[in-house]
Chain A
Amino acid sequence: AQKITQTQPGMFVQEKEAVTLDCTYDTSDPSYGLFWYKQPSSGEMIFLIYQGSYDQQNATEGRYSLNFQKARKSANLVISASQLGDSAMYFCAMRGNTGNQFYFGTGTSLTVIP
């Protein structure tokens, strides 16, 4: 069964500090992709970062990096130098190569404190 788990319903971080949002996954697909999305209060889902299961290096996109530990089945998102505009819901998601579905976690609400 495919499953994504986010165990942190809410997180707080001081402005300019780094924060790690946790994500673990379970899949039997030999090849898969892991994603992070940001959802501000306006509702739109913004794609942040993608990691393929066979990628040799951890993905990075600006202030976002994905700490991919395949053996532990974890794909944590690291946001460096937090900004007030980072306050939002963050969703981890997975897609396997044997189907067309995407699987989402329940999300983590991040609040950046000035």
Chain B
Amino acid sequence: DVKVTQSSRYLVKRTGEKVFLECVQDMDHENMFWYRQDPGLGLRLIYFSYDVKMKEKGDIPEGYSVSREKKERFSLILESASTNQTSMYLCASSLTWGAGRNTIYFGEGSWLTVV
């Protein structure tokens, strides 16, 4: 089974802190994603990566950066956390289209509260 693991399930951080959310997948997937989920807004894509050191902005990249130094690991960084970044963050991974199963697989989510 594909496993996507997010390092922290629940975090509480202070305004202005630098926050790292780590994600690891064990199925050699090329693509990795970070989404933010808020009530009534569904899942919004922050960044995605289709290869090591490659990244593309999603719909809401402002205030976030990402790092992908190894194929299995994709990190989301909040350079200076703000209260409006309080949310649930979901990491996901997938194969390239047509390379096999086209499904996206999710981690358990990280609930971040910024106070």
Are B96 and A97 in contact (CB-based, < 8 A)? no
Residues of A with C-beta under 8 A to B30 = 100
Is the beta-carbon distance between B96 and A100 smaller than 8 angstroms? yes
- Asked whether B111 is an interface residue with its Cβ less than 8 Å from the other chain, the reply is yes
Q: How large is the interface on A (under 10, 10 to 19, 20 to 34, 35 or more residues)?
A: 20 to 34
B residues less than 8 Å from A107 (CB atoms): 42
A35 contacts the other chain (Cβ, under 8 Å)? yes
The 8 A CB mask of A71-107 against B (1 = contact, 0 = none) is 0000000000000000000010101110011101111
Q: How far is the CA of A96 from the CA of B94 in the complex (A)?
A: 13
Total contacting residues, chain B, CB less than 8 A: 29
Contact A101 B98 (CB under 8 A): no
Which residue, A37, A91, A104, A105, has most C-beta atoms of chain B within 10 A? Answer: A104
B41, B92, B103 — most chain A CB neighbours (10 Å):
B103
A12, CB-defined interface residue at 8 Å = no
A97 to B96, CA, bound (A): 9
- Residues of chain B in range 46-69 having any CB-CB distance to chain A below 8 Å: 48, 50, 58
